[in-house]
Amino acid sequence: MGKVSNLVIGVALGTAVGIVINYLFGPARDTPANEQYRSRWDQAIEDGKQAAAEREAELRREFSETKKLQG
């Protein structure tokens, strides 16, 4: 490959990486400028923690109910 081909490939890869980084760490859609900054990454982490807490509570309830039935 020639130098021009390498340059074009490098620019294309750099652009793709920049788009991915901007998507992950940029502000979430419909976020007004006056609200606290939240990226999609932050939102995904928070959603995961909330889902884990809900699942843990559900499993604890099931465990308590099973323990009551056996005891």
In sequence order, the β-bridge partners of residue 39 are 27
- pLDDT value at position 32? 65
Give the whole-angstrom CA distance, residue 14 versus residue 7: 10
Please give the C-alpha separations between residue 1 and each of 5, 6, 8, 28, in angstroms, as whole numbers: 6, 7, 11, 40
Count H helices and E strands in the chain, helices first: 2, 0
Q: Which residues 6+ apart lie within 8 Å of 24 measured at CB?
A: 39, 40, 41
Interval 5-15: pLDDT, tens: 999 999 999 99
pLDDT tens digits along 32-54:
655 566 677 788 899 999 999 99
